[in-house]
Amino acid sequence: MNTVNPRGGIKGGAHTATRHDSAAGHVTGSAIYLDDMPNVRGTLHAALVLSPHAHARIVAIDPTRALAMPGVVALITSADVPGHNNIGPGTIEEPMLAVEEAEYVGHPVAAIAADTLDHARAAAAFVDITYDPLPAILTIEEALASGAIVCPEQHMVRGDPFTALGKAPLRLAGEVRCGGQDHFYLEGQIALAIPGEEHDMHMFSSTQHPTEVQHGVAHLLGLPFNAVTVEVRRMGGAFGGKESQATIIAGIAAVLAWKTKRPVKLRLPRDVDMMATGKRHGFLIRYDVGFDAQGTILALDMLLAANGGNIADLTPAVLTRALCHADNCYYVPDIRLRGVPCKTNTVSNTAFRGFGGPQGMFAIEAVVEAIATHLQLPLDAVRRRNFYGTETRNVTPYGMVVEDNLIARVTEELDRAVDLAAWRREIDEFNATHLTIRKGLATMPIKFGISFNLPSLNQAGALVHVYSDGSVHLNHGGTEMGQGLFVKIAQVVAQAFQIDLDNIRVSATSTGKVPNTSPTAASSGSDLNGMAALNAASEIKTRMSAVAAEHFEVPVDEIEFSANRIFAGNRSISFGDLAQLCWQKRVSLSATGFYRTPGLHWDFKTNTGRPFYYFSYGAAASEVAIDTLTGECRTLRTEIVQDAGLSLNPAIDLGQIEGAFVQGMGWLTMEELWWDAKGALRTHGPSTYKIPGSRDVPPIFNVRILPESPNKELTVFRSKAIGEPPLMLAISVWLAIRDAVASLRQYKYRPKLDAPATAERILSAIQDIRSR
């Protein structure tokens, strides 16, 4: 990376710690988000009408009073969809607005467009809807009891787990739960639909998946895909919450625009956003594990029951990823993982950073901790016995060989950096001398699979133009949600052309520029789009090289791009001049690039295959303190070692690691989704739903990117994906809290502590363990 270029090199190439391209725009408020765009003349503003019932038949919708309100122009229900009322992200059809039945409190039933936002929101309260309430299923337990599911169960089986369980010398069963999580992107869901000529619909949407918005709107309006263009410059955060959910919002705006023939903007107020749109799946986990006296896992039968909410949405894929991560770093020879996608009358849950991975890892960590407690062995010792091997014991339950195993490396690197044994002694000394405050310490290794489980999604396109002054326009299928994708891909192109980064401008993602894209999700943004952009740049470079070779009258293989110039031995021409020369020679300076991840396959019938191109690894250790009288908790210190391959941008990657960790910590500690007895979510704004604040971040928080660790696979400049994996390092915090609780009884018992570990749950766990 630091090879010295005698010609001076370039600014902002691959592997440099380069700033976010919009940083100056962010701090001055000049970066433009969708709601900041000047209104198009005649724009209407929309508001949703939500169901107050968890489950009810919609008997009648009377819009008379609402339509008579000031400024109101139109009201739509599902009956107003001119085309096909389907915006389901998968193969299961799902409607944009409730049809016949409202299935959760907050289910959008109708939408109103008016001249102002206030008029639209005021009128929403005057839509008279007659409901006939029906029985509702509100919890995973109720759904399991009644067999309510949103899609088929998924089973992942290897060997003969039941026989192996029967033969195992030791056996434990248990149950643990983790809650869901609201994305709490700071910019709420928003879309703007602008009708054009001849039924064209131009959409601006805060979406991670412009192509899905394009397809959804086309379905709803009965149009071919080429009539709908979707554009997104940036999102104010997304985290998975704007993958499929954005399509609902865009679809409603589009149908209102279609009906009124006017531009329509739909922006959800925070409460509506949190009530009406999906979240991370809460899970109920039940396990039965067989092991030996040394802690080696011999067999595991585990239920992972996900709260899918009212419809399938992305639940099938989330569940698959949960099953694919319920091994985490551990080899389990005989195993059955049973995934149940429970249907409940709560909002349909969806993608959220980690996408089932966090819940799968949470589950297996509870199992390994149970074994360690039972055997009175250190948790890390039991983990080490079960880590995947490099030559043997290296096949996952879904049949993929772990070829790039860095588990030992990251955990040893962590230990070397922090001296875990000494740290543990400090904890023990503290606990021996303090009456009411207890400390806990735990580590967390992770192995996270990179690629969409669905092989067809692992493709990307890019579009690169070199203008005749040498400036470069870059476009690709990925979306910018703050993760720094645009700057990373621009770095890739700068590296390819060997020109300074500031010559490259990235334009808004648009289905009109790069078609048939995948969502920017599954940590895949830079892997996929980076390679597509590299391929486009390489194509143009090849053409430019031919022109340069002709110009300098040398063989093409003597042409070298370096330090903003193109060299033939000692002679050179600037990049801009060569671009001008190409134009004169009538050589195309525009190319599309395409990439598909090699070697992936997945059998949905058996849940086996090679779903992941590679794995990302990491390890963390966290120290917490709890007040045993109130259950209050603080995370005091976190140390992280995270694999990023050869990081494309260490500054951006550091931000991803820190941000993901804190987000994961929020999921497992203070972020609580609380529904009342009628199924209404009562934590639907920041006054009631608490995400971490600056004081909640561990005061000692050190992140190390694993050095000299090129990706074994041929990813873009040997980098690795970074968006999701570090979130799961936060499981160390949950385990450390359990450790602190367990210390009250000399670590003899497993605490009863589900997630999120709020002060209330911690105090309850303390009272429970003291009573044993």
Partner 1 sequence: MAVLRFLLNGRAHEESRISPTTTVLDYLRIHLGLTGTKEGCAEGDCGACTIALARRTGDSYVTANSCLLVVPQLHGASVLTVEGLAGPDGALHPVQQALVETDGTQCGFCTPGFIMAMFAFQESGEPARDDLIHEALAGNLCRCTGYRPIVDACRRIAATPSAQTYAPVPRVQDCPDYGETGARFLAPTTMDDLAAILAAHTNAQLLAGGTDLGLLFSRERKSLPLLVSIAHIPDLARIASTASGLEIGAAATYNAALPHIEALYPSFGSLIRRIGSRQIRNLGTIGGNIANASPIGDTIPCLMALGAAVTVRSTVGARTIPMEEFITGYRKTALAPGEFIEKIFLPKPQPGETFTANKISKRFDQDISAVVAAFAIRIGGGKLISIRAAYGGMAAQAARAHALETELAGRSWSLEALGDLESLLARDFTPADDHRASAQYRLSVAANLVRRLCLEMNGNAPAALETL
Nearer to partner 1, 21 or 369 (CB): 21
Residues in the chain: 772
Question: Which of the stretches 72-80, 252-260, 321-329, 655-663 binds partner 1 when contact is defined by CB under 8 A?
Answer: 655-663
Under the binding rule (CB under 8 A), the answer on residue 60 touching partner 1 is no
Q: At its nearest, how many Å lie between partner 1 and the CB of residue 405?
A: 28
Per-residue binding letters, 628-647, with partner 1 (x by CB under 8 A)? -xxxxxx-x-----------
Under the binding rule (CB under 8 A), the answer on residue 652 touching partner 1 is yes
Q: Which of 207, 320, 663, 732 binds partner 1 (CB under 8 A)?
A: 663
H helix or E strand, kind and range, residue 58: strand 56-62
Q: At its nearest, how many Å lie between partner 1 and the CB of residue 742?
A: 19
Nearer to partner 1, 21 or 643 (CB): 21
97 Cβ neighbours under 8 A, 6+ residues apart: 76, 77, 78, 81, 85, 108, 109, 110, 111, 252
The residue from 198, 623, 724, 760 that is catalytic is 724
Helical ranges in 597-649 per DSSP H = none
- Tell me the number of residues near partner 1 by CB under 8 A: 89
Query: Residues 483 to 522: which contact partner 1 by CB under 8 A?
Result: 483-484
Under the binding rule (CB under 8 A), the answer on residue 696 touching partner 1 is yes
Nearer to partner 1, 478 or 659 (CB): 659
What is the CB neighbour count within 10 angstroms for residue 442? 23
Here the tokens at position 580 are 């001008």
Maximum Cα–Cα distance across the chain: 87
208 Cβ neighbours under 8 A, 6+ residues apart: 235, 238, 240, 242, 243, 246, 479, 481, 519, 520, 521
Q: Which of 15, 32, 160, 587 binds partner 1 (CB under 8 A)?
A: 32
Q: At its nearest, how many Å lie between partner 1 and the CB of residue 123?
A: 11
Q: Which of 1, 5, 8, 26 binds partner 1 (CB under 8 A)?
A: 26
Query: Residues 427 to 456: which contact partner 1 by CB under 8 A?
Result: 434-437
Burial pattern 382-401, b for ≥16 Cβ within 10 A else e, equals: bbebbbbeeeeeeebbbebe
Q: At its nearest, how many Å lie between partner 1 and the CB of residue 703?
A: 8
Nearer to partner 1, 559 or 633 (CB): 633
H helix or E strand, kind and range, residue 152: none
Under the binding rule (CB under 8 A), the answer on residue 352 touching partner 1 is no
Under the binding rule (CB under 8 A), the answer on residue 38 touching partner 1 is yes
Q: Which of 730, 551, 705, 714 is nearest to 635 (CA)?
A: 730
Query: Residues 238 to 297: which contact partner 1 by CB under 8 A?
Result: 238-239, 269-271
Q: Which of 204, 187, 192, 152 is nearest to 269 (CA)?
A: 187
Under the binding rule (CB under 8 A), the answer on residue 771 touching partner 1 is no
Query: Residues 451 to 470: which contact partner 1 by CB under 8 A?
Result: none
Here the tokens at position 584 are 């004169």
Under the binding rule (CB under 8 A), the answer on residue 40 touching partner 1 is no
Cis peptide leading into 756, omega within 30 of 0? yes
Here the tokens at position 771 are 């009573």
Q: At its nearest, how many Å lie between partner 1 and the CB of residue 184?
A: 5
347 contacts 279 by C-beta, under 8 angstroms? yes
d(Cα 728, Cα 483) in Å, to the nearest integer? 17
Per-residue binding letters, 169-208, with partner 1 (x by CB under 8 A)? --------------xxxxxx--------------------
727 contacts 663 by C-beta, under 8 angstroms? yes
Q: Cα-atom radius of gyration of the chain, to the nearest Å? A: 27
Q: Which amino acid is at 640?
A: I
Q: Does 724 qualify as catalytic in the annotation?
A: yes
Under the binding rule (CB under 8 A), the answer on residue 661 touching partner 1 is yes
For residue 440, with 0-12 CB atoms within 10 Å meaning exposed, 13-18 middle and 19 or more buried, which class applies? buried
Nearer to partner 1, 217 or 235 (CB): 235
Q: Which of 12, 16, 20, 725 binds partner 1 (CB under 8 A)?
A: 20
Q: What is the phi-psi region of residue 461: left when phi exceeds 0, alpha when psi lies from -120 to 50, beta otherwise? A: beta
Q: Which of 699, 714, 745, 770 binds partner 1 (CB under 8 A)?
A: 699
DSSP class of residue 700 equals E
Where are any strands of DSSP class E within 537-679? 559-562, 565-568, 571-574, 590-596, 601-603, 608-610, 614-627, 633-642
Q: At its nearest, how many Å lie between partner 1 and the CB of residue 169?
A: 40
Helix (H, G, I), strand (E, B) or coil at 283: strand
Q: Which of 235, 255, 504, 668 binds partner 1 (CB under 8 A)?
A: 235
Q: Which of 55, 234, 383, 750 binds partner 1 (CB under 8 A)?
A: 234
Query: Residues 612 to 631: which contact partner 1 by CB under 8 A?
Result: 625-627, 629-631
DSSP 254-280: HHHHHHHTS-EEEE--HHHHHHHS--B
Q: Which of 538, 655, 747, 749 binds partner 1 (CB under 8 A)?
A: 655
Nearer to partner 1, 95 or 278 (CB): 278
Question: Which of the stretches 73-81, 338-346, 372-380, 761-769 binds partner 1 when contact is defined by CB under 8 A?
Answer: 761-769
Q: Which of 11, 690, 712, 752 binds partner 1 (CB under 8 A)?
A: 690
Residue numbers annotated as active site: 724
